[in-house]
Amino acid sequence: MRPILAAAAAAMLSTCALAQVPDPGAGRAANPAVTVRPEGSPESTGAIRPGANSFTEGQARSRIEAQGFANVTDLRKDDRGIWRGRAMQNGRSVNVMLDFRGTVASQ
């Protein structure tokens, strides 16, 4: 009888411990600054950061176009590793930038 009681007590205690594991996504709704994006996809928000940029001009153009920009022109990589150029967005010409992480931004 004692082994059965011990097993039942152990099962009850382990269930209580499992109930105390926090939900890993619980804080995301409370913190709108936290974003989740698929691995490998370019970011479309966030600050442009300088760094060693290994994107070719063609890759930079493709990533910028994938974010909804058209007619990307005048792409040049500056001394901080940021690709800069001009593009059309919603019928107007804007400055575009792409950093080493794939982050695209416009001004």
Taking the complete model, does pTM exceed 0.85, yes or no? Answer: no
Higher pLDDT, 70 or 15: 70
Q: Locate the domains of the chain by residue range.
A: 50-107
Q: Residue 28, SS3?
A: helix
Higher pLDDT, 35 or 1: 1
pLDDT for 35 equals 38
Q: Above pLDDT 70, what percent of the chain?
A: 58
Residue 3 has pLDDT above 80, yes or no: no
pLDDT digits (tens, 9 = 90+) for 12-52: 665 555 555 555 555 544 444 333 444 444 444 568 999 99
Backbone angles phi, psi at 70, to 5 degrees: -125, 165
Higher pLDDT, 100 or 15: 100
